Structure 1
């Protein structure tokens, strides 16, 4: 049995799930196919359309192999959200926000993220529902979503090492962003209201130098 097969079929952490062992090139390509397949299914039919058997078939992997990479549908969809956030972060670094101060830049960044999600509402709903349903077993994955969101906000601020007060403001902004996303997806809030809420909470940055 090869080292790659031992990694997939042996005991221990699922691949890409809390493991310290880096993936081989083939394993990374397989993981990429799984994430892409999950994204396509979620984009077409939302949370309920992402079933592990259908994901395995769409990605061209065995069902057992899929579970080695992602122990549950929740782990899988949270990983999709991580993937989307990394893509957003890369895009923002290539085309950073142009606001006059950190508060304006963060508000612009988060609204750009909202508009991207607006183009894929079924995918957005699937990812957010996975975050809501995630239990302690997926805490590492959820923490990574929070870390990526924080990194995006701090990059948009562009003010160097943040103070403890600014980090507190960033946490409040994150909470507001996620709450606004949930209310928008449920039809209880418009994009216009989301924009007002985001711009309001981002003003906390000005008072947290």
Structure 2
């Protein structure tokens, strides 16, 4: 019988179960890409019942987009822990995108799974997509502002960051599907960031 502690939202047991599920998802995706992430395999590897997994994540897309959010959360925390190199917003944003892109390109199957899920996501995944967007916005806004972390981002700042994020994810999708090279991703981002931040 499940205890009240385990069913309380945000309980330690719930957070631990969620962590195991996301760890299993990332491990499966890293090994075999999008197609390797099957709900039954995730449940088995995370040591949770299949029904429990579906209570946390209604679909594979929900699961992978949430995993993408966790990856961005870690990247955002790392970027906040130090001053971003660069004399201009363009240079700082390109540094953050470059570091994050390089890390993603070292795990091509995982990146393929996460970006494909993001592109496939529909309105039912709106909350998870919003969470990814907020983490990406925080990461890029931090780079744009440089040492001035007291300024609140304006609506225009947020719109610019959203466009940069959309271009970046699209460029990554081109790379994981073999349509473009890693160098093409960098060139696309450099053009987009230069135009948007000039």
Same fold (TM over 0.5): yes
Instruction: Give 2:183's aligned residue.
Output: 192
Q: Deviating runs (4+, > 6 A) in structure 1? A: none
5+ long unaligned stretches in structure 1: 8-20
> Which has the higher mean CA deviation after the structures are superposed, 76-85 or 128-137?
128-137
1:119 aligns with 2:106: yes
2:14 match: 27
The aligned counterpart of 1:11 is none
What is the root-mean-square deviation in Å for CA atoms of aligned residues?
A: 1.6
CA deviation vs aligned residue, 1:113-172 (integer Å, no higher than 9, x gap): 110110111011101111122121111111111111111110111252233333332222
- Within the alignment, does 1:129 sit opposite 2:116 as a pair? yes
CA distance in 2, matches of 1:168, 1:27: 35
State whether structure 2 residue 39 is matched by structure 1 residue 52: yes
Q: CA deviation at 1:62?
A: 0.9
Q: 1:89 matched to which residue of 2?
A: 76
Structure 2 gaps of 5+ residues are none
State the TM-score, normalizing by the size of structure 1: 0.86
Secondary structure of the equivalent of 1:99? Answer: coil
What is the aligned partner in structure 1 of residue 128 from structure 2?
A: 141
Post-superposition shift, 1:205?
A: 4.5
CA shift digits 1:37-64 (9 cap, x unpaired): 1110000000111111111110111111
Q: Contact conserved, 1:102 with 1:205, CA < 8 A, in 2?
A: no
Aligned length: 193
Paired with 1:197 and 1:99, the residues of 2 have a C-alpha distance of: 19
Q: Distance in 2 between matches of 1:180 and 1:144?
A: 20
